[in-house]
């Protein structure tokens, strides 16, 4: 039998594929580089070329749902970019970029001068999509034929987040993150991985408790006795679109939009912080760094647009902190709670959130025997 990999975090990627497309100007060879249920990333192998000390290549990103451009002037479904990278220094910059609608029509494009993109070169994260793209392009530029990115079938994997409920290994997450898992693994802020077992679930409230056979350096504190208020600031920590953005904890800020959920659901509340697949089960923190909720879902923007003709932005929901605490009590879990504390800077709240959040990876089928 093959032993399960120590890190389950790479299970989200799909097997790479190559597609050929002839255009009037040139031939493109699009290789499916990374994929999730919401986004696909392609590398144009034919575009890879050396330019002195730099390597240039093209990337295409396709989204399952429409996105709004930063200036909010366009709604697009895909983008194409030319990138320039320094293979030795491990730096990357955007040379040009274009947005396309769902019919493939070009909406907007921009291009940087050589001086501007050289000044914009930034280091790539060690385990980010950009790092993997740069490594692949540099190998192609050297005349090598690197294998496609390491991949597993996405149908057998699920990635979410979890909150460290106690230092002795208890992690709170969503029921839907660990549902029907053959194996569960976690990775903490110190990049230490461990197997986890399911302790208990509450499907109605989308909560689950898992146990890791190791101790954590720090556990979260849950806010007690202070009711939620519309307009209060929140911080969300998780691993959104991990196959694209990498496996470091990602932080987003927002506020409490409403103290109830859909159709007045009293167990949920609405937040404005953007969330994506991989945020599920992560903490929603108040300005003192205490947990006031657990991320659970977001409004299906595409479905709303089809039904109502409007594209909603950043409507997300969390399970209320008191509901999560009641669940922990039913599981006889020891956890910390305290009244609302002193307000902290955003950077301080983010640091706390990253420390008490773990990546939760679920393998939905057992590894094949060899």
DSSP string covering 57-120, please?
EEEEEEEEEEEE-TTSS-EEEEEEEEEEEETTTTEEEEEEEEEE-TT--EEEEEE--HHHHHHT
- The CATH fold assigned to 155-363 is Thrombin, subunit H (2.40.10)
Q: What is the pLDDT of residue 190?
A: 77
Q: How far is 234 from 252, CA to CA, in rounded Å?
A: 9
Query: Which run of H or E residues covers position 165?
Result: strand 157-166
What pLDDT does residue 86 have?
95
Selection from 232, 209, 230, 217 nearest residue 324 by Cα = 209
156: phi then psi, degrees, rounded to nearest 5: -100, 5
pLDDT, position 16: 38
Q: Of all helices (H) and strands (E), which one includes residue 360?
A: strand 357-363
Structure confidence at residue 146 (pLDDT) = 78
Q: What is the pLDDT of residue 44?
A: 93
In which residue ranges of the chain is pLDDT below 50? Answer: 1-25, 150-156, 301, 366-370
Phi-psi region of 309 (alpha: psi -120 to 50; beta: other; left: phi over 0): left
The pLDDT, as a whole number, for residue 39 is 82
| Residue 330, pLDDT score | 96
Structure tokens belonging to residue 137: 């392009």
How many residues are listed for the chain in this entry? 370
> Measured between alpha carbons, how far is 82 from 97 in angstroms, rounded to an integer?
6
353: helix, coil or strand?
helix
Which pLDDT score is estimated for 367? 43
Q: What is the pLDDT of residue 245?
A: 73
The CA-atom distances, in angstroms, between 14 and each of 40, 62, 68, 151, 246 are 9, 14, 26, 5, 15
Residue 216, token pair as written in the block = 């954590």
**Domain extent listing, the chain:** 17-141, 155-363
Q: Are 181 and 216 in contact (CB under 8 A)?
A: no
**Alpha-carbon gap, residue 189 to 171, rounded angstroms:** 14
17-141 topology per CATH: Lipocalin (2.40.128)
Buried b (16+ CB within 10 A) or exposed e, 126-137: eebbbbbbbbbb
pTM for the structure as a whole = 0.61
**8 A C-beta contact, residue 58 and residue 82:** yes
Q: Which residues face 170 on adjacent strands? A: 166, 211
């Amino acid at each position: 039998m093959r032993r399960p990999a120590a890190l389950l975090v790479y299970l989200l990627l799909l097997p790479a594929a190559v597609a050929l497309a002839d255009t009037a100007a040139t031939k493109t060879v699009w290789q499916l580089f990374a994929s999730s249920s919401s986004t696909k990333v392609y590398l144009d192998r034919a575009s890879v070329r050396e330019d002195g000390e730099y390597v240039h290549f093209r990337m295409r990103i396709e989204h399952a749902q429409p996105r709004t451009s930063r200036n909010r002037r366009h709604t697009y479904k895909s983008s194409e970019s030319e990138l320039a990278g320094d293979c030795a220094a491990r730096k990357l910059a955007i040379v040009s970029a274009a947005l396309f609608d769902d019919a493939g029509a070009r909406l907007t494009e921009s291009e940087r001068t050589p001086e501007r993109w050289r000044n914009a070169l930034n280091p790539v994260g060690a385990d980010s999509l950009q790092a993997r793209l740069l490594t692949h392009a540099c190998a192609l530029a050297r005349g090598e034929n690197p294998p496609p990115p390491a991949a597993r079938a996405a149908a057998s994997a699920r990635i979410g987040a979890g909150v460290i409920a106690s230092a002795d290994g208890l992690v709170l997450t969503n029921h839907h993150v660990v549902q029907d898992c053959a194996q569960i693994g976690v990775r903490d802020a110190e990049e230490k991985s461990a197997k986890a077992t399911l302790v208990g679930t509450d499907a109605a409230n989308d909560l689950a408790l898992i146990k890791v056979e190791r101790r954590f350096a720090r556990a979260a504190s849950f806010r007690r006795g202070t009711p939620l208020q519309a307009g209060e600031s929140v911080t969300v920590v998780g691993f959104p679109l991990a196959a694209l953005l990498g496996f470091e904890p990602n932080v987003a800020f927002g506020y409490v939009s409403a103290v109830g959920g859909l159709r007045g659901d009293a167990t949920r509340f609405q937040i404005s912080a953007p969330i994506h697949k991989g945020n599920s089960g992560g903490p929603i923190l108040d300005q003192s760094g205490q947990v006031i909720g657990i991320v659970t879902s977001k409004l299906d923007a595409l479905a709303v647009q089809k039904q109502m003709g409007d594209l909603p932005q950043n409507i997300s929901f969390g399970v209320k902190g008191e509901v999560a605490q009641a669940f922990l009590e039913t599981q006889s879990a020891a956890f910390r709670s305290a009244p609302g504390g002193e307000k902290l800077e955003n950077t301080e709240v983010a640091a706390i959130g990253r420390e008490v959040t773990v990546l939760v990876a679920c393998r939905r089928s057992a590894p094949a025997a060899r």
